[in-house]
C-alpha cells in the first residue's frame, strides 16, 4: 500500500464527463502520480432521479480515453469499497443515527410550499432567505403529530449558533464563513438517501482521503462539510479549490450557452488527441514553473505538477490555444500511429473501394497540416474527388498571371511524357518545362499546384502529383487550360 496521499475523483453520473470534471480528475491524478499516492474513483449516485448507467459508462470511457486510470474504484476494487455511494447506505445510516443521538441533527417536517413562502417573506422583509429553524426544537408531541399527519421529513444538520467556520485552503488561504450564512442544511432526503455533503464527508473519511482537490464551485460546501467532520470527531482532509473554467465571454462553460463542445466525448469525436487534451486541461488554472505551454509527454506533466501552483483566478477556455496544442501533439506522433488514427476519420464514401495502401499514403502527407483528426477529410478531398473544388483565391492569385496558359501547356506536355508516374519523375518533368521556358521552377510549380490541387498550399507538389495519378493530373491541367481559354487568357 502506498504511503503517499490518497485523492479521489467523485463524479455524479447525471451526464457525460464535462471538461470541468475532467480537469478535476486530471489534477487529482497528477498529484497522486507526482507524490506516489493513490487515485480513487468514486461514483456519487445519490441523485436517484438523474443518475444513469449510461452516464456511469460515459465517465469510465472518458477517463480511460484520457489515460486517467484509477488505482481504486469500480472495476478495479480496493480495500475501501464499495465505490458507488448507493451501495454504502448502511454506513450513512450509522452516521445519521449518531448525529441525531448527539444532537447535531434533527428531523424537519416543513413542506416545500411552506419553505418557499417563508423564504419569500424573509426576502420581502430584507432578511436572509435561509431556513428559519422552525423544526429545530420540536417537542416529542409535535413530532408525533407531524408523523400522524403523514408529513414527509428530511434530516437537517444543526449549525452552531456561534463560532465562525474557517476553511484552510491550499489555493485560497483562509476562508471564513459565519454560521448565519450556512443555516441548518439538509443531510438526508425524504427518500432516506444521503445528501451530497453528508455522503461526501462519510466517504472521504472512511476511504482515508488525505487531499480534496476540486472546483471552487464546491467552496461553499466546504464549511458545511467541516461542521460534519467536527460533529463526528473526524480529522478533515486538506482542501484545494481550483478556479472555475469560463468561456471566452467570461461565463461558466456551458454547451447550452455556446453550442460548442464541452464534454470529453465531443472533443474525442472532433479529433482531438488525449495527450493534447491533458496538456491543455492542465493549463486551465495551473501555472507552470517555467511558463511552459507544450508538454510532450504525460511524464513531463507529472514532474512539473504541484497543487501549490493552482491559481485563484478563473481559467478561460481558449479553443484557439487548444487547437494549437492539438496540432503540436499531432506533429509529435509517430507517422504510423497518426495514419492509423486519422484514417478512421475519413468519410466511408470517400475511401470505399480504394486501395488501402494508397489511402494511407495520402493521409500521411497531411500530418504537418492537421489541427485535429477530423480535418483529414477536407485536407485530402482533392485526392478523392473527381471534380476538383477550386479555391477562388488560389485561382485569382496564380491563374491571372500573364503567360500562365503557356506555362501550364508546357508542363502538361512534359508530364504526358512521363513513363513511370512517381513523385520523382513528375518533378523532373515540371522542372524540365521550366527550363525549356527559361523561367524559375516556382513559376511553373505554383500554377501547376493550383490546377492539380485547387489550392496554393499543402504537401509537396510532387508527392501530390505522384498520388493523384497521371490521368487525374492531366485531366485537371486540361480543365484549367480550358477555363483560361474561356477567360481569354
Buried/exposed 8-45: b ≥16 CB within 10 Å, e otherwise = bbbbbbebbbbbbbbbbbbbbbbbbbbbebbbbbbbbb
Do 167 and 227 form a contact (C-beta atoms < 8 A)?
no
472 is catalytic: no
In contact, 452 and 465? CB cutoff 8 Å: yes
Residues in the chain: 489
Confirm if 370 and 341 have CB atoms less than 8 A apart: no
How is residue 280 written as a grid cell? 491543455
- Report the SS3 class of residue 270: coil
Cell of 60: 469510465
> Look-up: residue for cell 493534447?
276
Distances (CA, A) of 419 to 96, 242, 428, 429: 86, 65, 11, 10
Neighbours of 120 (CB within 10 A): 11
> What DSSP letter does each residue of 274-312 carry, written as one string?
HHHHHHHHHHTTB--TT-----SSHHHHHHH--GGGB-S
Task: Map grid coordinates 482531438 to a residue.
Answer: 272
Going by C-beta distance under 8 Å and a sequence separation of 6 or more, which residues neighbour residue 116? Answer: none
Q: Which of 98, 255, 321, 397 is catalytic?
A: 255
Distance CA 59, CA 55 (A): 6
Orientation angle between helical segments 441-453 and 423-437, nearest 10 degrees: 130
Distance CA 2, CA 39 (A): 11
DSSP run (H or E) holding 154: strand 154-157
Q: What angle do CA 144, 146, 150 make, to 5 degrees?
A: 110
Q: Give residues with Cβ within 8 angstroms of 199, minimum separation 6.
A: 44, 46, 85, 88, 92
Residues 354, 472: Cα–Cα separation, whole Å: 15
Residue 462 · residue 430 · CB < 8 Å: yes
d(CA 240, CA 213): 5
Give the angle subtended at the CA of 420 by the CAs of 419 and 425, to the nearest 5°.
90
Cell of 259: 453550442
Contacts of 331 (CB under 8 A, 6+ apart): 367, 368
Catalytic residue IDs: 255
Amino acid at each position: 500500500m502506498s504511503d503517499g496521499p490518497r485523492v479521489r475523483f467523485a463524479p455524479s453520473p447525471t451526464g457525460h464527463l464535462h471538461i470541468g470534471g475532467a480537469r478535476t480528475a486530471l489534477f487529482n491524478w497528477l498529484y497522486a502520480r507526482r507524490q506516489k499516492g493513490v487515485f480513487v474513483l468514486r461514483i456519487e449516485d445519490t441523485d436517484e432521479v438523474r443518475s444513469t448507467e449510461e452516464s456511469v459508462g460515459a465517465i469510465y470511457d472518458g477517463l480511460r480515453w484520457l489515460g486517467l486510470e484509477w488505482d481504486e474504484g469500480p472495476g478495479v476494487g480496493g480495500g475501501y469499497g464499495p465505490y458507488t455511494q448507493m451501495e454504502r447506505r448502511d454506513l450513512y445510516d450509522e452516521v445519521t443515527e449518531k448525529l441525531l443521538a448527539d444532537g447535531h441533527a434533527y428531523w424537519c417536517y416543513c413542506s416545500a410550499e411552506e419553505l418557499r413562502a417563508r423564504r419569500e417573506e424573509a426576502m420581502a422583509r430584507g432578511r436572509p432567505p435561509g431556513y428559519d429553524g422552525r423544526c429545530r426544537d420540536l417537542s416529542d408531541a409535535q413530532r408525533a403529530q407531524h408523523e400522524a399527519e403523514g408529513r414527509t421529513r428530511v434530516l437537517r444538520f444543526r449549525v452552531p449558533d456561534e463560532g465562525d467556520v474557517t476553511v484552510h485552503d491550499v489555493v485560497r488561504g483562509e476562508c471564513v464563513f459565519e454560521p448565519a450564512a450556512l443555516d441548518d442544511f439538509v443531510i438526508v432526503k425524504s427518500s432516506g438517501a444521503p445528501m451530497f455533503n453528508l455522503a461526501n464527508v462519510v466517504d472521504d473519511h472512511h476511504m482515508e482521503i488525505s487531499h480534496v482537490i476540486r472546483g471552487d464551485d464546491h467552496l461553499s460546501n466546504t464549511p458545511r462539510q467541516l461542521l460534519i467532520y467536527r460533529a463526528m470527531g473526524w480529522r478533515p482532509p486538506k482542501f484545494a479549490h481550483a478556479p472555475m473554467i469560463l468561456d471566452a465571454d467570461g461565463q461558466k462553460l456551458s454547451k447550452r450557452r455556446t453550442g460548442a463542445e464541452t464534454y470529453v466525448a465531443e472533443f474525442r469525436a472532433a479529433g482531438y488527441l488525449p495527450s493534447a487534451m491533458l496538456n491543455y486541461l492542465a493549463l486551465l488554472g495551473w501555472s507552470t514553473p517555467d511558463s511552459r505551454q507544450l508538454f510532450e509527454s504525460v511524464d513531463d506533466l507529472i514532474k512539473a505538477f504541484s497543487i501549490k501552483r493552482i491559481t485563484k483566478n478563473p481559467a478561460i477556455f481558449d479553443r484557439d490555444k487548444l487547437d494549437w496544442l492539438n496540432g503540436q501533439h499531432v506533429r509529435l506522433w509517430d507517422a504510423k500511429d497518426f495514419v492509423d488514427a486519422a484514417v478512421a476519420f475519413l468519410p466511408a464514401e470517400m475511401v470505399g473501394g480504394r486501395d488501402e495502401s494508397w489511402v494511407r499514403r495520402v493521409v500521411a502527407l497531411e500530418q504537418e497540416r492537421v489541427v485535429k483528426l477530423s480535418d483529414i477529410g477536407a485536407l485530402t478531398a482533392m485526392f478523392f474527388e473527381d471534380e476538383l473544388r477550386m479555391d477562388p483565391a488560389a485561382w485569382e492569385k496564380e491563374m491571372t498571371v500573364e503567360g500562365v496558359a503557356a506555362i501550364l501547356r508546357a508542363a502538361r506536355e512534359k508530364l504526358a511524357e512521363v513513363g513511370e508516374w512517381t513523385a520523382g519523375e513528375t518533378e523532373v518533368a515540371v522542372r524540365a518545362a521550366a527550363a525549356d521556358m527559361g523561367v524559375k521552377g516556382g513559376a511553373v510549380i505554383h500554377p501547376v499546384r493550383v490546377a492539380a490541387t485547387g489550392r496554393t498550399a499543402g504537401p509537396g507538389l510532387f508527392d501530390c502529383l505522384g498520388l493523384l495519378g497521371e490521368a487525374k493530373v492531366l485531366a485537371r491541367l486540361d480543365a484549367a487550360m480550358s477555363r483560361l481559354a474561356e477567360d481569354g487568357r
